Amino acid sequence: MARRCARMPPMCRALLYLGEPVVLDSFLYQPDSALVRQSYMPKMLHMLNLAGFGMRAWDRRSREPAKPWAYGSTGLPVFDRNLKSLAEKVEAGAVLAHVRGVAYSTAVDISLANVHPFQFPGCPVVMAHNGDLARFADLRPALAAHVPASLARHVRGTTDSEWIYALILSGLRDPFAVPSGGELVEAVARALAIIRRERAGLGIDISSAANLFVTDGTQIVATRYCFDFGRYATDDPAKLHEANLRFVSLWYTLGRDYGLHEGEWKMVGGAEAADSILVASEPLTRDVAAWVEVPEYAMLHACIRDGRPAVTLHYLD
């Protein structure tokens, strides 16, 4: 096994939604495992996510419907009265929301520039990340070589996640236009392949999760992926993080009329009558019977076609 100083990888929580408009409070605050609750009480990860909250939300009935409503804060969302008030009033048909978790360190930058999701000016594609790239300081120059200056100049923060986002945009024919589904899937797969290749060239083989959440408001992509899963530092087993021992979770559910039904927050009707899809790091409700776990090393793509979510799974190297 690889040997180096043990680290405590940050593990965030995120969700994607695409379908009929839903009030944001129903995702962020109300369910048993709502995203804001996952920041301090996740069910599938024993780590707090207290380094900020960010979101993009698209309302097709709003002015400039292709432009999402944006919100970001480095504060704790459970105490964010502005977010709570807005969430109770705003409805959206597409949502990407993220609570950020970081390892405790005086070197970690808790700043608005590092809050997910990332969206460069004029780019319709937005991305959030749940995971951590080992030895990113060594890896960053190699990744930057694959990003044109026209995109690299927009990198504002210090995270590995923002460079993954830049890599995805670099794989699109026009980063400032809405891509086709096939093109977006290929761009995400290309970004992961570049990271894998550059890690190998630098001899980096420490387990590094890369669950990605990507959308442009008309389609969603989510990956459940890990580089060199199971390889970890053995210097100090007491510091081994659970994220190295099990694959980071990712789930989705299909249905319609998302809301409170018979005491449970859920969609009804099943996949056969679905008009919406919800993807999350972990199910938002106690009852997980309607949720499906995304396979390891897989990418989910979904769009709305003829009023129904068209979902495809792609398996990754």
| pLDDT tens for each residue of the chain, 317 residues long | 343 333 445 568 899 999 999 999 999 999 988 888 887 766 656 555 455 899 999 999 989 999 999 999 888 878 889 999 999 999 999 999 999 765 545 455 567 889 999 999 999 999 999 988 999 999 999 999 999 999 999 999 999 999 999 999 999 999 999 999 999 999 999 999 999 999 999 999 999 999 999 999 999 999 999 999 988 766 655 555 555 567 899 999 999 999 999 888 999 999 999 999 999 999 998 788 899 999 999 999 999 999 999 999 999 98
Superfamily of domain 13-315: Aminohydrolase, N-terminal nucleophile (Ntn) domain (3.60.20.10)
Both structure tokens of 150: 């026209």
Q: Which residues pair with 299 in a beta bridge?
A: 223, 314
The pLDDT value recorded for residue 236 is: 59
The pLDDT value recorded for residue 111 is: 75
The pLDDT value recorded for residue 279 is: 98
Q: Determine contact, residues 275/20, Cβ cutoff 8 Å.
A: yes
* Residue 178 per-residue DSSP state: P
Both structure tokens of 104: 């405790």
The pLDDT value recorded for residue 112 is: 84
pTM of the predicted structure, to 2 decimals:
0.91
Of 163, 130, 129, 159, whose CA–CA distance to 144 is shortest? 163
The pLDDT value recorded for residue 103 is: 54
The pLDDT value recorded for residue 213 is: 98
Tell the residue number behind the tokens 């026009």, with chain if given.
174
Tell the residue number behind the tokens 């018979």, with chain if given.
262
Of 155, 130, 131, whose CA–CA distance to 143 is shortest? 155
Residues 6+ apart with CB under 8 A from 289: none
